[in-house]
Homo-oligomer: A and B are copies of this chain.
Amino acid sequence: VSTNVAVLGAGNWGVTLAHLAAVNGANVRLYTRDREQAHEIETTHTSERAVAGLVLAPGVRATVDLRDAMDGAELVVFVVPSQSFRGLARAAGEHLLPEQLVLHATKGLELGSHARMSTILQEETCARQIGVLAGPNIAAEIASGKVAGTTVASAFPHVFEVGRRVLASRRLAVLPGTDVLGVELCSAFKNVVAVAAGMASQMGIGENAKALLVTRGMSDIARLALALGAQRATFHGLAGIGDLLVTCASEKSRNHRLGVAIARGEPLRDALEALGMVAEGAYASLAARDLARARKVDVPVLDRVHRVLYEGLAPERALEELMSLEPAPSR
């Protein structure tokens, strides 16, 4: 019997996940607000803007009707930017039934509240069995058939089992986890370090210095996430070090590109606009700053990124401070 799956959000990762599930035999309804995109998918089984060149498996059907997308789905997967998440969750909450399993694949925290996405799901829907999917997953690579690994973390083993059944293949390893909070925090904060790595790349400081910077950034993430309740093993896993590795290595990552633009001297607003898409790191750095302050955790790299993005600190000065022997000034 085929599994019915709803994928809510049709960016590159949502479209890719919908395709993978359909390849595995699921009936997938892919929700998008964009009528043109829905029409393109329904008529040509492609979505060139989301994933150029990918021909979607026949099991993917697009819809602009949220209720239609979710109706009868055993698994509902949320894949939208963090700042659109609550709106979608609230709308989906009108239809979601408590027996439906929910996964999300959003790497960020809500602005202002610093809420995790699983918290938003709990607040806005009756979903109980919630999980998060995260890892070193460049969507374009996976869509093109390259192998990868990802994590599905949930307090409910059933969520992992269904997630694996729907997504795992000889090309995608789906590994289990239970630390939802840890995965969500590591996934969000790593984007801030990716911005720092992008700045470093643009400034041509070399591989040694970039490694020092990323190592210190990793320590920041570990300290802050642990202080907020994450498990250490999560930091060591695919959603922690793994995702950070790929985000910092890939010059294509939007957060990396944001760092490059900022180091070139572009104002944040212009840089974000030019990217034409969401750079989660710019939001996550606000959350990281506030959370680190509240918990009195020293996060020199995350802090410098925040100050460069929002307080006019020169990228050169930030890097000098991070490279120096001196401990970070207390705040």
Whether A317 sits at the interface, judged by CB under 8 Å, is no
A147-B323, A323-B147 as given contacts; A238 in contact with B250, CB under 8 Å: no
Whether A52 sits at the interface, judged by CB under 8 Å, is no
State in angstroms the CA–CA spacing of A271 and B241 once bound together: 31
Residue of B nearest to A252 (CB): B207
> Copy number of this protein in the oligomer?
2
Q: What are the residues of chain B within 8 A of A211 when measuring CB–CB?
A: 136, 238, 242-243, 245-246, 249
Whether A209 sits at the interface, judged by CB under 8 Å, is yes
Give per-residue flags for A199-241: 1 if the beta carbon is below 8 A from chain B beta carbons, else 0: 0000001111111101100110010000000000000111001
Task: Find A146's partner among B146, B148, B208, B236 (CB 8 Å cutoff).
Answer: B208
Task: Find A173's partner among B135, B245, B246, B323 (CB 8 Å cutoff).
Answer: B323
A148:B212 contact, CB within 8 angstroms: yes
A147:B209 contact, CB within 8 angstroms: yes
Selecting from A83-91, A118-126, A137-145, the interface stretch reads A137-145
Whether A50 sits at the interface, judged by CB under 8 Å, is no
Q: What are the residues of chain B within 8 A of A147 when measuring CB–CB?
A: 205-206, 208-209, 323
Task: Find A208's partner among B142, B174, B236, B325 (CB 8 Å cutoff).
Answer: B142
Residues of A250-270 at the interface with B, using a CB-CB cut-off of 8 Å, are 250
Q: What are the residues of chain B within 8 A of A218 when measuring CB–CB?
A: 236, 241
Q: How far is the CB of A176 from chain B (nearest CB, A)?
A: 9
Whether A44 sits at the interface, judged by CB under 8 Å, is no
Whether A324 sits at the interface, judged by CB under 8 Å, is yes
Whether A168 sits at the interface, judged by CB under 8 Å, is yes
Residue of B nearest to A204 (CB): B146
Residue total for A at the interface (Cβ-Cβ under 8 A):
40
A241:B212 contact, CB within 8 angstroms: no
Whether A175 sits at the interface, judged by CB under 8 Å, is yes
Residue of B nearest to A139 (CB): B208
B209:A146 contact, CB within 8 angstroms: yes
Q: What are the residues of chain B within 8 A of A173 when measuring CB–CB?
A: 212, 323-325
B212:A236 contact, CB within 8 angstroms: no
A246:B207 contact, CB within 8 angstroms: yes
B242:A212 contact, CB within 8 angstroms: yes
Whether A157 sits at the interface, judged by CB under 8 Å, is no
Whether A149 sits at the interface, judged by CB under 8 Å, is yes
Please give 17 more A-B residue pairs, beta carbons under 8 A apart, in addition to A146-B205, A146-B206, A211-B243.
A135-B212, A136-B208, A136-B215, A141-B207, A141-B208, A147-B208, A173-B323, A173-B325, A207-B246, A207-B250, A210-B249, A211-B245, A211-B249, A212-B242, A214-B242, A241-B241, A249-B249
| A interface residue numbers (CB < 8 A to B) | 135-138, 141-142, 146-149, 168, 173-175, 205-212, 214-215, 218-219, 222, 236-238, 241-243, 245-246, 249-250, 323-325
**A-B pairs with the 8 shortest C-beta distances?**
A148-B208, A136-B211, A215-B242, A146-B206, A211-B246, A149-B212, A211-B245, A141-B206
